[in-house]
Amino acid sequence: EEFISSPPKKTVRFGGTLTDILLKYHKGETTDFELLKHQLSDPDIKDAQIINWLHEFRASVAYLTKELEQLVSILLKLPWLKRSREVVEEYLGFLGNLVSAQTVHLRPCLRMIVSQFVPSRITIREDDVDISDSDDDDENVSENFNTCHRALQTVARYVPSTLQFLMPILVENFPYINKSERTLECYVHNLLRVTVYLPTLRLQILELIIEKLLKLDVSTPQQDIEDAEETANNSDSEEKPAEEGLFDMEEDEERKGNKVVSSSSERMAHPLAERLDILMTILFSYIKDVCHVDGKLDIKNTKDLYRDLLSVFDKLILPTHASCHVQYFMFYICSFKLGFAEAFLDHLWKKLQDPNNPSVIRQTAGSYIGSFLARAKFIPVVTVKACLDLLVNWMHKYIDNQDTGANAYCDVALHGPFYSTCQAVFYTLIFRHKQLLDGNLRKGLSYLQSLNFERIVMCQLNPLKICIPSVVNLFAAITRKYQLVFCYTIIERNNRQFIPVVRSGTGGDLVQTCTNPLDSFFPFDPYILKRSKKIIDPFYQFWEELSAEDLENLKKPIKRGTSEDEDDDFLKGETPQNDGVVGIAPNSYESNTRSPVSSIGSPPDCYVPYPQ
pLDDT tens by residue, 13-28: 555 788 889 988 888 8
Q: Per the domain annotation, does 262 fall within a domain?
A: no
User: Is pLDDT at 256 greater than 90 in this prediction?
Assistant: no
Q: What is the pLDDT of residue 137?
A: 61
Is residue 241 included in any domain, yes or no? no
Residue 604 — pLDDT band, cuts 50, 70, 90?
A: very low
Cα dist. 402→237, 257, 395, 466, 544 in Å?
A: 61, 57, 10, 17, 37
Q: 128 pLDDT band (50/70/90 cuts)?
A: low
User: pLDDT-derived band of residue 507, with 50, 70 and 90 as boundaries?
Assistant: low
Where is mean pLDDT largest: 180-194, 460-474, 509-523, 565-579?
Answer: 180-194
Measured from the Cβ of residue 148, the count of other Cβ atoms closer than 10 Å reads 20
Q: What residue numbers bound the domain in which 104 lies?
A: 1-121+138-165
Instruction: Kindly tell me if the per-residue pLDDT of 361 is higher than 90.
Output: yes
Highest mean pLDDT among 98-102, 248-252, 259-263, 582-586: 98-102
Residues 76, 81, 87, 88, CA torsion sign: positive
Mean pLDDT comparison of 226-230, 252-256, 259-263, highest-scoring range: 226-230
**Amino acid identity, position 406:** A
pLDDT digits (tens, 9 = 90+) for 468-500: 998 999 999 999 999 899 998 888 888 887 655
| Sign of the CA dihedral with 593 first, then 599, 601, and 604 last | negative
Of 165, 180, 201, which closes a domain? Answer: 165
Check pLDDT > 70 for residue 9: no
CA atoms within 13 A on the CB side of 175: 25
Work out how many domains the chain is built from and give that number. Answer: 2
| pLDDT at residue 248 tops 60 | no
Grade residue 409 by pLDDT with cuts at 50, 70 and 90.
Answer: confident
Ranked by mean pLDDT, the top range of 206-215, 400-409, 569-578 is: 206-215
Given 523, 556, 590, the domain boundary residue is 523
**DSSP one-letter string for 271-338:** HHHHHHHHHHHHHHHHHHHHHEETTEE-HHHHHHHHHHHHHHIIIIITTSTT--STTHHHHHHHTT-H
Structural domain contains residue 51: yes
Does residue 253 register a pLDDT over 90? no
| Position 454 in a domain | yes
Whether residue 552 has pLDDT greater than 90 = no
Where residue 378 falls (left for φ over 0; alpha for ψ -120 to 50; beta otherwise) is alpha
Question: How far is 132 from 446, CA to CA, in rounded Å?
Answer: 70
| pLDDT bucket at 549, cuts 50 / 70 / 90 | low
Please state whether 483 falls in left (phi above 0), alpha (psi between -120 and 50) or beta. left
Please state which of the ranges 212-221, 388-397, 508-517, 550-559 shows the lowest mean pLDDT.
550-559
The mean pLDDT value for 562-571 works out to 32
The mean pLDDT value for 179-195 works out to: 95
Contact between residue 197 and residue 153 where contact means Cβ atoms under 8 Å apart: yes
Answer for the pair 111, 169: CB distance below 8 angstroms, yes or no: yes
Residue 193 domain flag: no
- On whether residue 227 sits in a domain, the answer given is no
Instruction: Provide the pLDDT confidence category of residue 608 given band limits of 50, 70 and 90.
Output: very low
Q: pTM value?
A: 0.81
- Does 576 score more than 80 pLDDT? no
- For the stretch 425-475, pLDDT in tens is 999 999 999 999 988 889 999 999 999 999 999 988 889 988 999 899 999
Taking CA atoms, 535 is separated from 193, 270, 370, in Å, by 21, 20, 22
Write down the pLDDT at residue 249.
Answer: 46
- Mean pLDDT is highest, among 36-45, 120-129, 294-303, 519-528, for 294-303
> What percent of the chain has a predicted confidence (pLDDT) above 70?
76
- Within-domain flag for 431: yes
pLDDT at site 412: 81
Residue 306 confidence (pLDDT) = 98
Among 165, 181, 201, which residue terminates a domain? 165
pLDDT digits (tens, 9 = 90+) for 57-112: 999 999 999 999 999 999 999 999 989 999 999 999 999 999 999 999 999 999 99
**149 located within any domain:** yes
Looking at 115-119, 167-171, 571-575, which range is the least confident one?
Answer: 571-575
Chain-wide mean pLDDT for the chain? 81
Contact 262, 243 (CB under 8 A): yes
